[in-house]
Amino acid sequence: VNGTGGFRFRATRVGGDTTLAQIIRMVEEAQGARLPIQGMVNRITLWFVPAIMGIAALTVLAWLLLAPAPALTYALVAGVSVLIIACPCAMGLATPTSIMVGTGRAAELGVLFRKGDALQELCEVEVVALDKTGTVTEGRPELTDLILADGFERAEVLALVAAVEERSEHPIGQAIVRAAQTEDVARHDVTDFTAIAGYGVRAQVAGRSVLVGALAQVETSLAQSGRSALFAAIDGRIAAVIGVADPVKPSSAAAIAALRAQGLQVAMITGDKRETADAIAAELGIDHVIAGVLPDGKVAAINSLRNGGRKLAFVGDGINDAPALAHADVGIAIGTGTDVAIESAHVVLMSGDLRGVVNAFAVSRATMRNIRQNLFWAFGYNTALIPVAAGVLYPAFGILLSPVLAAGAMALSSVFVLSNALRLRRVRAQMDEGDQLRPPMSHARAVPAAAE
């Protein structure tokens, strides 16, 4: 991020060769895809229609050979009834209607499915990997602790330290400045400002020498609790130990608990040091932590979590999350993230927190369950009524299904499928704006423990 200076750069890829353009092309191609289950239905229907034609022909032939007079009338009635009752309208409607209603309801809940197969693959996911900064946490450090040495007052120390850090571009320094502004402490002029790369900053403030530096090599309780520890020295004397942390989003704990309640393993991938990552994981109940990951190492981290071929969803928001979002079985982008992350994701959440992930899983499972119900009805209906239309009940009960009744039954099967699909409009969010977890929409399924 270039804040106040200027620089020259050379673009090595422009236009259609840029990463962003390639990602957009990938998204456009995927948007025309169909769910895998829909392809299976199409293959079955491809063989189903010729089979029904054959059954209708055999029905006519059997009635001509075996039926009493007028045999031709009976044969035509039975043959036409078979053709009408077996019309695969319900099969053809079973999947697309559920997809249409399910994705529409998902959008109302703030979940946008960008890629066709994500709706099905999401309900097959066993591991959810979360990027930490900006996804689990707020993505902006805040002052959490100011532990004063004897003889110093909070307002005095905070004012002097903030005056020095106001000259610094470091995010941790800006956190201290924001805290000083919030507490409305005094403002001072700064002279002789010096940034010591990798160590801290020094300046003269109101006639006093102020040094702020990192306690990187010192074990403190702040570091063990996941905070970045700093020290402030005034006129050569230690004045305070400062704790700065990227706060966890208020809804993260409840969302992670909801995901685990659904039988999902939750992992966190972060570039932070192990102590910070472990502290956050312990606070939130995260199962597996991969720390110290550089931006280009997230894809490898995802592969390490796919132990035994398990399907994985990755949730991220930043530019450096884009490769991981594209590489995961299902990439889920936080809607408040960067455009590149959103373009590379399979699912985009309109909200800025993890509650949308829980709702995405809920809609996916409800939609797939609805599709299976529709397909079961469509195939079961044909399996049960084709023999009746062919006349198997006539010898014993004298019942022969007329083409009129067959047409009505066929229409009712389509009405059932459409009505069942419309039930998805009543799917409720599993987590509402108050972080309240609603009863689960489906039974949790057990998954293997993550490999250590």
Residue positions annotated with a catalytic role: 131
Structure tokens at 407: 């047409």
> Which letter does DSSP use for residue 434 in this model?
T
Question: What is d(CA 371, CA 177) in angstroms, rounded to the nearest whole number?
Answer: 54
Amino acid at 179: A
Task: Single out the residue of 245, 257, 246 nearest to residue 435, CA to CA.
Answer: 257
Question: What is d(CA 387, CA 317) in angstroms, rounded to the nearest whole number?
Answer: 56
| Element at 6 (helix H, strand E) | none
Residue tagged 């709706």 (tokens) = 119
- Report phi then psi at 306, rounded to 5: -85, 45
Amino acid at 410: M
Question: What is d(CA 188, CA 209) in angstroms, rounded to the nearest whole number?
Answer: 13
| Element at 428 (helix H, strand E) | none
| Element at 5 (helix H, strand E) | none
Number of C-beta neighbours around residue 191 at 10 A: 9
- The strand pair at 127-131 and 111-113 is best described as unpaired
The CB-based long-range contact list for 313-316 (8 Å cut-off, 24+ gap) reads: 313/122, 313/125, 313/127, 313/128, 313/129, 313/357, 314/128, 314/129, 314/130, 314/131, 314/269, 315/128, 315/129, 315/130, 315/131, 315/135, 315/354, 315/357, 316/130, 316/131, 316/134, 316/135, 316/341
- Report phi then psi at 269, rounded to 5: -115, 125
The answer to whether 102 touches 420, Cβ cutoff 8 Å, is no
- The strand pair at 200-205 and 208-214 is best described as antiparallel
- The strand pair at 312-316 and 330-334 is best described as parallel
